[in-house]
Every structure is written in C-alpha cells, then in structure tokens.
Homo-oligomer: A and B are copies of this chain.
Amino acid sequence: IEEKNDAELLLLLEEVHPADIAEIITELDLDEATYIIKLLNSEKTAEALMELEEGVRERILDNLSSKEIAEELEEMDTDDAADIIAELSEERQQSVIAEIQDEEHADNIVELLRFDEDSAGGLMAKELVKVNENWSVTGCMAEMRAQAENVTRVHSIYVVDDKNKLKGRLSLKDLITAPSKANISDVYIPKVDYVNVHTPGDEVARIMQKYDLEAIPVVDEMGRLVGRITVDDIIDFIKDEADRDYQMAAGISEDVEADDSILKHTRARLPWLILALLGGFISVTVLGTFEGAMEQYGALFFFVPLIAAMAGNVGVQSSAIVLQGLANNTLRGSLMNRLVKEVGLSLLNGVVLAVMLTLGGTYLLGFDLIYGVTVGISLISVIVIASLIGTFVPIILDKQGIDPAMATGPFITTSNDIFGILIYFSIAKAILGF
C-alpha cells in the first residue's frame, strides 16, 4: 500500500482518528511518514501532528517547507500552533510565521510565543466565546454562533465589558431561557474563577483540579480577557510535570525519552553522575582519614556500603514525602512539629534496623559483638541525621525559592553517603578508640 495508491489510502485513513494516525506515522520511516502527512487534508494532519511525540514531529517538520508547515498551523488552535512553532529554530520560526495567511491567527500565535511555556499565558489558547455585557440576548446569540465556529469545544461563555475586562460568565441554559429583550448584564453570573497570564502552570492545574473546572479564563495585568485554558491541556501539563519530577528524582535533568539519542541522554544524565563522582571523592578522602583504624579494626570498612546505602535510602524516602507535600500543598503545621515527628519516626525505624544489624552482624556474619554494637549505634545516628537532611533540605530550598525537586535523587544520596560515613567512623572511633 505504501507505494502509490493515493485514493485507496485516503479512503482507508478517512475514518481513522488523528491520534491513531499519529501512532501509525510513528511506526513508519521518515519518507513514508512525510508522504502520508502531505497526502492527508490539512485539518487531519494538523491534529495528527499535534499527537506525535516531539522527536518524531521534529524530523517530519524538517522535511516540510515553511509554507507547508504554515498551512498546518492555520488549522490548529493558537495554543497548539504556538507550541509547535516554539520547537522550531529561530529563523525557521520567522519564515513559517511569515507564510501564515490569516494575519489575526499569526498575531495570536506571536503573542502566545512571548509567554513562558509553563505559565498560564503559555498554556492558554486565544480561541474562546465571549460576549459584551451591554449586548442584548438576541444580538448575542448570532455573534456567539459566529465565534463558536472557531472553537473546538465551547466550555463556557465569558462576559466582558467595553474595555474587554472579564466580568463573569454565562451559562448556555440561562441564555436560552432568558427573555430575548434582556441585556446580558441582567443574566450573567458575576462570579468566575480566572487566572492571570503570569500564574504558574502548576497553580493553574491546582485551581482547575480543586474546583473541577473544564476551562478557565486568563486575564492580563489589566484584567482584560486574553485567552482560556482547557482541561485537556492541563492533563498534559500534569502528566509532563509528574514525568519531570520523577526524572529529576532519578537524576535526569532534561526531559528525555527512551528513544532519544545517546547524546541527549548523556547530556541529561552525565552532569548528575559527575556530581555524584565529586561526592565520591569526598567520601574517599573521609575514609582515608580513618586509615589508622584499618590495621586493628579493618572489619569496620566492610560495613561502609551498608551504612552509606541506609543513609541514602532513608534520605530519599524522607525527601520524597516532603516534596509531594510541598507540591500538593498539604504540608501544614510548624517546623518544630515536623522535626519532632521526623526524629521520632527515624528513631523507631533506626532502633528496629540497628537491632537487626547488631544481631545479624554478630550471629549471622560472625563478627565480634563489639562490631555489631558499634555499627548498630552508628546506624541509629545515621538514620536520624539522614532523615533530617532529607526532610529539611527541600523545605529550606523551597523557602529560598529554589525548586526543591533538585534536592532529591543524587544530591540527597551523595550528601547522605558522606555524612553517613563520617558519623559512622566518628562513633566507631569514640567507642573503639583508634
């Protein structure tokens, strides 16, 4: 089928949903994919392009002329078009925008490109249905119908004044049941949730989730209605955020997928590994200072990876809980309460594990009891300190305005390794005396 039969292929794909076409395209090689994209009508291709993964889309767009891309963009909502243009190189962006015939559409896209990708301004679309509060109900019906043609799904009708300031919203039901001579100002609902163009995306997501909204209007600094964000964009945002946090916790600093190039993976992973290596240098140095213990108490060194691993695991657990609490805004109560609780929790865990370690080390592995007791006591201290570091480093970073997600993963593990080893040998030195 891939060879020539245009008509048959078109017929075959006519019934297929754009999201499925996107999946088919991903399976094809580049030439075939470009062929299909060019073959289909632009409305369908535009939607299919949107559904593609970034990497695949990039390669296909490279194969299209600026004019061809512009044609696809004209079929898209402004927010999707802006997202796609943002992926192109600077000069490509300009030539594509110049090729867009519909000047208003192009204007809107350029406006959206100015906003930070993760702010309400970057997430919103310009397409929406709005009416003026001074219009009559009848006059407004006709106007609305015209506007609705450009909007894929009408979630809400927004009411503005003469200066385009957001005043409220209108339910379709109220509009239909209102006497036709009434003015919009008599029937609209003056209470409406909205966000500012600069509201961060996660805040928008939180508001929409909290109030179960399907769309939210976006206003500029002067309260003028400039766009709206729909729930499907927010779902994508939440998913991307979760993926990003997950990767950050694993020590991956760029958004990568399994199928990205080796170079992109290296760029995302290597920096954290270098950080861990530098941390490793410190742990080597710390261990080196306790060289004197090697002759008499060499077995102490056998427990080093165990202590370091426990410190790392406890730190990651504590920081994960705190990070989620910060992200979901569920972290309440004073720092003092948290401190007491975290110490209590880690003492409880620490004592259980220390008893296991002491017994296991002495009777299972056959070390002298003094070793077992030493590592046991050290383990308790290490766990308490590690859980405090894991809990408070994110809280402090957050208070300083730094993304606390940075603090998890390699950073917490590495610093807890070092502190863990230092505490362990200090306690061993105090007990055994070397």
**Residues of A at under 8 Å CB distance from B?**
17, 19, 26-27, 51, 53, 153, 209-212, 214, 231-232, 234-236, 238-239, 242-243, 245-247, 249-252, 256-259, 262, 265-266, 269-270, 272-274, 276-277, 279-281, 283-285, 287-288, 291, 294, 298-299, 301-310, 312-314, 316-317, 319-322, 324-325, 328, 330-333, 338, 341, 344-345, 348-349, 352-353, 356-357, 360-361, 364-365, 408-410, 413-414, 417, 421
Q: List 12 A-B contacts (CB under 8 A).
A: A214-B231, A246-B320, A251-B313, A269-B317, A277-B306, A277-B360, A281-B364, A284-B306, A291-B302, A294-B301, A308-B308, A312-B413
Interface pair B325/A305, CB less than 8 Å apart: no
C-alpha spacing A299/B209, complex, angstroms: 56
Query: Known: A53-B330, A245-B246, A262-B341. Contact between A421 and B305, CB under 8 A?
Result: yes
Interface pair B305/A417, CB less than 8 Å apart: yes
C-alpha spacing A322/B256, complex, angstroms: 11
Main secondary structure of the interface of A (DSSP, over half): helix
Query: Known: A235-B234, A304-B304. Contact between A344 and B262, CB under 8 A?
Result: yes
- Chain B residues with Cβ below 8 Å from A232 are 209, 212, 214, 231
Interface pair A330/B251, CB less than 8 Å apart: no
How many whole Å from A214's CB to the nearest CB in chain B?
A: 7
- Chain B residues with Cβ below 8 Å from A317 are 250-252, 269, 272-273
Query: Known: A258-B331, A287-B301, A353-B273. Contact between A243 and B324, CB under 8 A?
Result: yes
- Chain B residues with Cβ below 8 Å from A274 are 353, 356
C-alpha spacing A283/B310, complex, angstroms: 12
How many whole Å from A245's CB to the nearest CB in chain B?
A: 6
How many whole Å from A371's CB to the nearest CB in chain B?
A: 10
Chain copies in the assembled complex: 2
How many whole Å from A17's CB to the nearest CB in chain B?
A: 6
C-alpha spacing A214/B215, complex, angstroms: 11
C-alpha spacing A408/B308, complex, angstroms: 18
How many whole Å from A338's CB to the nearest CB in chain B?
A: 8
- Chain B residues with Cβ below 8 Å from A245 are 242, 246
Interface pair B231/A322, CB less than 8 Å apart: no
- Chain B residues with Cβ below 8 Å from A236 are 209
C-alpha spacing A274/B383, complex, angstroms: 13
Interface pair A313/B272, CB less than 8 Å apart: yes
- Chain B residues with Cβ below 8 Å from A353 are 270, 273-274, 277
- Chain B residues with Cβ below 8 Å from A330 are 53, 257-259
Interface pair B250/A320, CB less than 8 Å apart: yes
**5 cross-chain pairs, A with B, having the tightest CB-CB distances, nearest first:** A280-B306, A242-B242, A250-B320, A258-B325, A287-B302
Query: Known: A242-B246, A298-B291, A330-B259. Contact between A276 and B309, CB under 8 A?
Result: yes
Apart from A19-B211, A246-B320, A280-B303, 19 more pairs, CB < 8 Å? A51-B210, A238-B242, A243-B328, A247-B320, A247-B324, A259-B332, A262-B344, A266-B349, A270-B352, A270-B353, A273-B353, A276-B310, A281-B360, A284-B365, A291-B299, A308-B308, A308-B309, A312-B413, A316-B409
